[in-house]
Amino acid sequence: MIYEKIVSRRTVRKYLQKEVPEEILKKCVDAARLSPSAMNLQPLKYIIVNDEKLLKPVFSTLRWAGYLPEYQPSEDEMPRAYIVILLDKNISEHSGHDAGIAAMSISMVAYDEGLGSCILGSVDREKLRKILKIPENLRIILVISLGYPAEQPVVEEMRDGDIKYWLDENGVLHVPKRKFKDIAKWNICEG
């Protein structure tokens, strides 16, 4: 069941304008909190953003689709919540892989609850710091957008080495993935 969910979950950039229940947002962060942490340092902190007055300002700090710059949510398709993942530099200067693990935990809990998500690393961090009044000891690592999906991206096998996602004539986002045989070796790594 977990495997099937991981396989079917896709990044969502366009959302229905329906409020995300606070209980789901708490569940997402709690899953991240309980996820593995290098040396169990637990240096990550989280800001849950769902205040209507902050959604647009946070939205303005994010870049959405590197391969399709014109493909981004309009104001009528904006996320209805965000979770900002922060590194507390007073605990550790290095997030290691903690932020990636936490982001996946958040995304999978959200997906299990019927939400879409997008893990964003392309962020105007200084602008976001000012908007959310984030102190200097907290480094902004990732922002995860959340909401009920207004699109259904599809995965497909990568062709001719092209990893760029693309839109078809119906506006459906296609996401190419490498073949298993091209990324995994058994026991040793020759050739």
H or E segment and range at residue 111: helix 98-112
4-18 pLDDT per residue, tens: 999 999 999 999 999
Could you tell me the pTM of the whole model? 0.94
**pLDDT-based confidence at 191, cuts 50/70/90?**
low
101-148 pLDDT per residue, tens: 999 999 999 999 999 999 999 999 999 999 999 999 999 999 999 999
Q: Give the tokens for residue 160.
A: 């001719």
In the chain, the domains with their CATH numbers are 2-152 (3.40.109.10), 153-191 (2.20.180.10)
